[in-house]
Homo-oligomer: A and B are copies of this chain.
Amino acid sequence: MILVSRRYKFSASHRLQSFLFSEQENREVFGKCNNPFGHGHNYEIEVSVRGEIDPGSGRVVDLARLDNLVTSTIVERYDHRYLNEELPEFKTEIPTTENLGRQIEKRLAEAWPSSFPGARPALARIRIFETERNMIEVDH
């Protein structure tokens, strides 16, 4: 079994503001990330796929098919968006990198079978790099 990973980029803005906190708690917990007008990042996501090498193509995953899936499901959804205002999933949860990771994992998992029947190859892991210093990782 081999793990194949591929990276995609998008730029978006967000504001960290909890629905369960008071205004003062939000300022204390999130600091300048709670700034009312939001701020932005160049996000980089890494999608990892696990499977066996296909003897015909010599590949674990058809990269064109993976690109289509990730671009239509994730990149076009989040690129150049203000996550809090424009995405229904962030009307009820905070667009932290952790929640963004869980959303991306859930959306790719749902769309996976239509592109890769029988989960061959299988979705294995999502990583998001918010900046060069901060990364989250969700196993599927």
Give complex CA distance A4, B100 in Å. 13
Q: Knowing A29-B57, A80-B35 touch, does A134 contact B16 (C-beta < 8 A)? A: no
Interface residues of chain A: helix, strand, loop or mixed (majority): mixed
Give Cα A135–Cα B39 distance, bound, in whole angstroms.
20
Contact (Cβ within 8 A) A39 B58: no
**Range, interface on chain A:** 35 or more
**A42 in the interface (beta carbon within 8 A):** yes
* Contact present for B131 and A4 (CB under 8 Å): no
CB-CB under 8 A from A110, the residues of chain B are: none
Chain B, Cβ-Cβ closest to A93: B58
Residue of B12, B42, B99 near A58 (CB, 8 A) is B99
